[in-house]
Amino acid sequence: MNRVTAKHRRHRRTGAEDPEPSGGREHGQLMVLIIGFVLLALLVATVVTAASSVYIEHKKLLSLADGASVAAADSFTLGQLETAGGSPAAVLDGGRVRGAASDYLNRNAAFTRFSGLAVAPATGSPDGATAVVVLSAAVHPPVVNFLVPDGIRIEASSTARSRLTR
């Protein structure tokens, strides 16, 4: 039997001896490639986690704004009747809308659940019939929080109307 050791292997095409049969210069390159892919996967996972956190907090803030706008829409006063046989109308005041939204947030302990929660100046009633509530808060995503120590500001807006029916 003809035994060929690793030192004496020859190239099939050229017939010359292969001085470094294990690849020589390329030895260990696979480890660098694996480390690079692991780091890339961790970076992608971190970005997805942070984006998901911001998205979920925005949905929570939107839900809170929806509740506050419904509460604000219930703060209507009865408007003047146009005619003797007419029906009364629900009239909203911007100050009452802001007050009702703030009361709703206080009753639901929202200021403790959200960092930097604020009722935006756009909250009110632009037409006297619609309650608009705009809330803003800061989100602190996990892992990358050191990059944005003040958090990421998010804003949610919701509208509601009151209608009187018989």
From the centroid of its chain, how far is CA 35? 30
| CB-facing half-sphere around the CA of 120: CA atoms within 13 A | 18
Q: Report how far residue 96's alpha carbon sits from residue 98's, in angstroms, rounded to the nearest whole number.
A: 5
Q: Where are the alpha helices (DSSP H) in the chain?
A: 29-73, 94-107, 110-113
- For residue 91, give Cα distances in angstroms to 83, 103, 122: 17, 19, 18
Render 101-130 in DSSP notation, one character per residue. HHHHHHHTTHHHHSEEEEE-TT-B-SSSSE
Going residue by residue through the chain, which has 166 residues, state the pLDDT in tens, using 9 for 90 and above: 555 554 455 555 665 555 555 555 666 788 889 999 999 999 999 999 999 999 999 999 999 999 999 999 988 888 766 666 667 777 888 899 999 999 999 999 999 999 999 999 999 998 888 999 999 999 999 888 888 888 899 999 999 988 777 6
164, amino acid identity = L
What amino acid occupies position 1? M
- For 25, which DSSP code? G
Looking at residue 82, the DSSP 8-state letter turns out to be S
pTM of the model: 0.74
Q: Indicate the length of the chain as a whole number.
A: 166
Provide the pLDDT for residue 136: 96
146, two tokens: 């050191």
Contacts of 99 (CB under 8 A, 6+ apart): 75
